[in-house]
């Protein structure tokens, strides 16, 4: 299953091919990939102290280096932040920490993974005397075991040409096959999908959790005959572009591409979209110790680089001061723009952290076979 971070990288390559970002930007990223990212021991021997930030590869290497690493290095002389694009899945973090030789300081993870890892004592608690809670969004972005310098969202995206009398405005419409006939597109993953189903069942978005898993799964199975499922972001884009599906739940980064490409024929809406936190975690026993907390604090505290990342990869900023810095034409695409954030629902990472494994297995069993 492709993660959101990997998909950002894919998307950036596509943008480059269409000439939407510069060759220089891409080349920097590629050369960054060619250089061995872990010069760990050597650099430390020279008295140059460094932190290792782990991302999901490709352009994130450049994006995170430039917008997260550089500002920190400028403020902390003698410290270097290096990028490693191994892809810090929960499984990899677990095997590294359990082996007792942690070499990572900061990992691009998720709310549910941070909770899972935290409960297994594999990641360090965030020290909120160093990391400022008020530098990120109030609910769901500053967790016990991780904090989010970026955001993304699962939005309802539809082909407006198929619905001349007005498109869907809620997940209830999404699940209403009589009013809006046609194939639906869902991610083959329970996370965010069941949350939308719960809203379609009529539960108040403000009190969405805990999800009624059985009812949600029943709701999802109603669509089974009229649904296709995506694994990777490019796949989701393709299903909607070619008209295989008339409506889908997809990442906002893909929806914005479709909207621009079709001149607004394919639309997406922010109301009831599932806003998710791009949570970073600090593996237990990380070599940089407390400095990793300071790095995280710096990533959260600087709004300008976050806006830069929005322009490059589409990741929404989380610093409250960032939204105002976003250029007018990008605001529609920014999940944390006040106008957009107000109508979305923040996905509950804690609930998912406790339930993800079992619920996702049940979800897969429900939609397949």
Partner 1 sequence: MSAAGRTGAGWWLLILPAFLLLVVFYVAPIAQVLTISVTEPELGLGNYERLFTSSAVQRVIETTLRICLITTVLALLLGYGIAYAITLARPRAQGWWILAVLVPLWISVLVRAFAWVTLLRRQGLVNNALLGAGVIDEPLPLVWNEFGIIVGMVHYMVPFAVLPMLASMREIDPRLLAAARGLGASRGEVFRRVFLPLSLPGVIAAGVLVFIFSLGFYITPAILGGGKTLMVAEWISLQILDLIRWGLGTMMATMLIAAILVTLLVFSRIVDLRRIFGAGA
Site residues, partner 1 (CB under 8 A): 1, 91, 188, 224, 227-231, 242-244, 357, 360-361, 364-365, 367-369
- Least distance to partner 1 from the beta carbon of 356, Å? 10
- Least distance to partner 1 from the beta carbon of 246, Å? 10
CA distance 225 to 102: 47
Residue placing its CB nearer to partner 1 in the complex, 89 or 103: 89
Q: Are 130 and 294 in contact (CB under 8 A)?
A: yes
Residue placing its CB nearer to partner 1 in the complex, 91 or 100: 91
Cα distances from 369 to residues 2, 62, 177, 195, 224, in angstroms, run 22, 41, 22, 23, 10
- Least distance to partner 1 from the beta carbon of 72, Å? 34
**Chain-centre distance of CA 48, in angstroms?**
32
Residue placing its CB nearer to partner 1 in the complex, 141 or 239: 239
What's 36's DSSP letter?
-
CA distance 103 to 105: 7
- Least distance to partner 1 from the beta carbon of 57, Å? 17
- Least distance to partner 1 from the beta carbon of 5, Å? 16
- Least distance to partner 1 from the beta carbon of 17, Å? 19
Residue placing its CB nearer to partner 1 in the complex, 98 or 244: 244
Residue placing its CB nearer to partner 1 in the complex, 229 or 351: 229
Residue placing its CB nearer to partner 1 in the complex, 43 or 213: 213
Segments in the chain forming alpha helices (H): 4-17, 23-34, 40-45, 59-64, 70-75, 90-99, 111-119, 171-174, 193-200, 213-222, 233-241, 252-261, 291-301, 303-313, 328-331, 338-343, 349-367
- Least distance to partner 1 from the beta carbon of 244, Å? 6
Cα distances from 190 to residues 38, 122, 187, 223, in angstroms, run 35, 24, 8, 14
Q: Which two tokens stand for residue 331?
A: 């605001």
Residue placing its CB nearer to partner 1 in the complex, 242 or 328: 242
């Amino acid at each position: 299953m492709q993660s959101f971070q990997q998909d950002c990288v894919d998307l950036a390559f596509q943008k480059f091919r269409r000439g939407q970002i510069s060759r220089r930007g891409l080349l920097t990223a590629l050369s960054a990939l060619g250089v061995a990212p872990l010069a760990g021991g050597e650099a430390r021997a020279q008295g140059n102290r460094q932190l290792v930030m782990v991302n999901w590869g490709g352009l994130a290497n450049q994006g995170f280096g430039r917008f997260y690493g550089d500002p920190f290095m400028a403020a902390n002389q003698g410290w270097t932040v290096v990028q490693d694009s191994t892809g810090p899945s929960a499984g990899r973090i677990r095997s590294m920490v359990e082996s007792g030789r942690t070499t990572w300081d900061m990992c691009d993870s998720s709310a549910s993974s941070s909770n899972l890892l935290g409960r297994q004592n594999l990641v360090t608690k965030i020290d909120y005397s160093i990391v400022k809670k008020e530098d990120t969004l109030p609910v769901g972005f500053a967790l016990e075991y991780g904090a989010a310098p970026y955001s993304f969202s699962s939005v309802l995206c539809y082909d407006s040409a198929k619905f001349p009398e007005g498109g869907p405005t809620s997940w209830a419409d999404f699940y209403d096959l009589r009013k809006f006939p046609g194939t639906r597109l869902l991610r083959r993953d329970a996370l965010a999908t069941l949350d939308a189903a719960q809203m379609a069942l009529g539960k108040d978005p403000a009190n969405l959790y805990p999800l009624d898993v059985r009812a949600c799964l029943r709701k999802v199975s109603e669509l089974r005959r009229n649904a296709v499922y995506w694994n990777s972001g490019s796949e989701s884009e393709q299903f909607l572009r070619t008209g295989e599906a008339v409506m889908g739940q997809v990442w906002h980064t893909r929806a914005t591409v479709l909207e621009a490409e079709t001149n607004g024929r394919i639309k997406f809406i922010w109301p009831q979209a599932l806003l998710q936190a791009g949570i970073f975690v600090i593996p237990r026993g990380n070599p940089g110790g407390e400095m990793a907390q300071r790095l995280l604090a710096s990533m959260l505290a600087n709004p300008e680089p976050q806006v830069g990342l929005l322009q490059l990869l589409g990741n929404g900023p989380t610093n409250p001061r960032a939204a105002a810095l976003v250029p007018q034409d990008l605001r529609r695409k920014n999940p944390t723009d006040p106008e957009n954030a107000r109508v979305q629902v923040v996905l509950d990472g804690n609930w998912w952290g406790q339930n993800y494994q079992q619920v996702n297995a049940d979800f897969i069993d429900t939609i397949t076979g």
